[in-house]
């Protein structure tokens, strides 16, 4: 209890309050109201507008990609990204069970099925070694791709998720997947501002998806983005997410199944103002992470820090506790004392709609599920 009191006192001191401290809240300190008012005055508040175009241009510059496409949320960005990568009904997609539900749902929305493989302890993201071992045991390379020898289904994509903004070992992952002809789709929803070997997450695989939900580093309430360096894929993403309507001054003709996943101009205005603040927010979060790291080292609790060759956005900051009992006690006492903390997600294969899916032993994922907690991570 004494250690918990020290932790509570330290966190409250960081945020300079004795009131309730949430896990992660947005900060609106820039041009948000100005851009929103301009958009309202223009009456162009729906799914086209100057701020949608500006948002896409800003994302292309930040992530350093050929094309970024604004969409309504992060889940839709992943759903469409998988389709663009070639995932079809009846296919399988390799991913991790230690993830937010959107990762698995995006696969299911394509009428495909996830294969849940283990994560690495150091990244908390999909393990290239686990992927390689699975493919060596179950993969069958044919002329048109890799198939699962057990199910007979095509393994159409691999989708690692950068957990809490910590990049997976992407070089190794892409090498493994290239050997088997499997495209890598990055779930970069949580990792805006994170880098792997000098490259922004989301820009390294074939295609990536980001989220701008209300609890992300920058937000527009909802919102997402599809990013790619393959220009034709990016153009097709824009076409599909804007209902696949052929350009025409007044006629409506749609020549393939598209989606009404358009980001409203009103949300894009908010997103542009937030993206302007991204460097400042990242700097402040890294300062907080450094202070956390020094404090938790002094009381012998493991604070998760970035690995060499990576730069982490520290979206949600993590502690690794000794075991499940210690984790549960920590969660109970902090939340009872007005400091919001939470466990990592329930592993996907424990959920009723995914319990039948193919998976490996999940040794590392289970270890982390029992020990990882998030602590308040908002920009101060």
Phi first, then psi: what are they for 84, rounded to 5°?
-65, -30
d(C-alpha 139, C-alpha 128), whole Å: 15
Which of 23, 181, 189, 178 is CA-nearest to residue 96?
Answer: 189
DSSP code of residue 324? H
Contact 373, 342 (CB under 8 A): yes
Contact 268, 70 (CB under 8 A): yes
In a domain, 291, yes or no: no
CB atoms within 10 A of CB 8: 17
Looking at the 3D structure of the chain, how many domains does it have? 1
d(C-alpha 249, C-alpha 115), whole Å: 45
In a domain, 89, yes or no: yes
In a domain, 261, yes or no: yes
Contact 243, 257 (CB under 8 A): no
Q: What is the pLDDT of residue 1?
A: 59
Instruction: Please report, for the domain that includes residue 212, its CATH number.
Output: 3.40.640.10
In a domain, 351, yes or no: no
Radius of gyration of the chain (CA): 21
Contact 213, 26 (CB under 8 A): no
Q: What is the dihedral of CA 30, 35, 40, 41, to 10 degrees?
A: 120
For the chain, which residues score pLDDT lower than 50?
Answer: none
Q: What is the pLDDT of residue 50?
A: 97
In a domain, 300, yes or no: no
In a domain, 379, yes or no: no
Which of 68, 31, 75, 35 is CA-nearest to residue 268?
Answer: 35
- Could you write out the three-class secondary structure of 76-98? HHHHHHHHHCCCCCCCEEEEECC
Reduced to 3 states, what is the DSSP secondary structure of residue 55? Answer: helix
Reduced to 3 states, what is the DSSP secondary structure of residue 239? Answer: helix
In a domain, 310, yes or no: no
Q: What is the pLDDT of residue 131?
A: 98
d(C-alpha 367, C-alpha 371), whole Å: 7
Q: What is the pLDDT of residue 96?
A: 98
Kind of pairing between the strands at 92-96 and 155-158: parallel
In a domain, 197, yes or no: yes
Contact 30, 276 (CB under 8 A): yes
The verdict on pTM exceeding 0.95 is yes
Domain residues for the domain of 114 are 32-276
């Amino acid at each position: 209890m004494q250690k918990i009191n020290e932790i509570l006192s330290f966190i409250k001191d960081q945020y300079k309050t004795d009131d309730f401290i949430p896990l992660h809240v947005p900060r609106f300190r820039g041009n948000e109201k100005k851009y929103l008012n301009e958009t309202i005055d223009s009456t162009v508040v729906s799914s086209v507008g100057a701020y949608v175009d500006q948002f896409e241009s800003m994302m292309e510059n930040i992530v350093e990609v050929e094309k970024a496409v604004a969409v309504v949320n992060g889940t839709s960005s992943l759903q469409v990204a998988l389709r663009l990568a070639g995932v079809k009904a009846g296919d399988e997609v390799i991913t991790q069970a230690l993830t937010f539900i959107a990762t698995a749902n995006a696969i299911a929305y394509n009428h495909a099925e996830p294969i849940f493989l283990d994560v690495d302890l150091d990244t908390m993201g999909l393990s290239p070694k686990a992927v390689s071992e699975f493919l060596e045991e179950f993969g069958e390379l044919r002329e048109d791709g890799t198939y699962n020898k057990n199910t007979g289904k095509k393994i159409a994509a691999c989708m690692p998720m950068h957990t809490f903004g910590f990049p997976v070992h992407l070089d190794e992952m892409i090498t493994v997947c290239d050997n088997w002809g499997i495209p890598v789709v990055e779930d970069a929803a949580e990792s805006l501002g994170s880098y792997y070997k000098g490259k922004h997450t989301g820009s390294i695989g074939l295609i990536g998806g980001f989220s701008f939900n209300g609890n992300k580093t920058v937000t527009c309430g909802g919102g997402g983005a599809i990013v790619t360096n393959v220009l034709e894929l990016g153009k097709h993403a824009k076409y599909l997410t804007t209902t696949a309507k052929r350009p025409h001054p007044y006629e409506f003709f749609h020549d393939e199944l598209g989606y009404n996943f358009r980001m409203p101009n009103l949300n894009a205005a908010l997103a542009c103002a937030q993206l302007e603040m991204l460097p400042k927010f990242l700097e402040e979060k890294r300062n907080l992470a450094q202070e956390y790291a020094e404090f938790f080292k002094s009381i012998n609790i493991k604070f998760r820090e970035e690995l060499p060759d990576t730069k982490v956005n520290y979206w949600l900051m993590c502690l690794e506790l000794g075991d499940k009992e210690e984790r549960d006690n920590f969660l109970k006492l902090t939340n009872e004392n007005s400091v919001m903390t939470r466990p990592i997600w329930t592993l996907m294969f424990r959920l009723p709609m995914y319990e039948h899916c193919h998976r490996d032993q999940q040794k590392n994922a289970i270890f982390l599920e029992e020990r990882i907690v998030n602590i308040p991570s908002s920009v101060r």
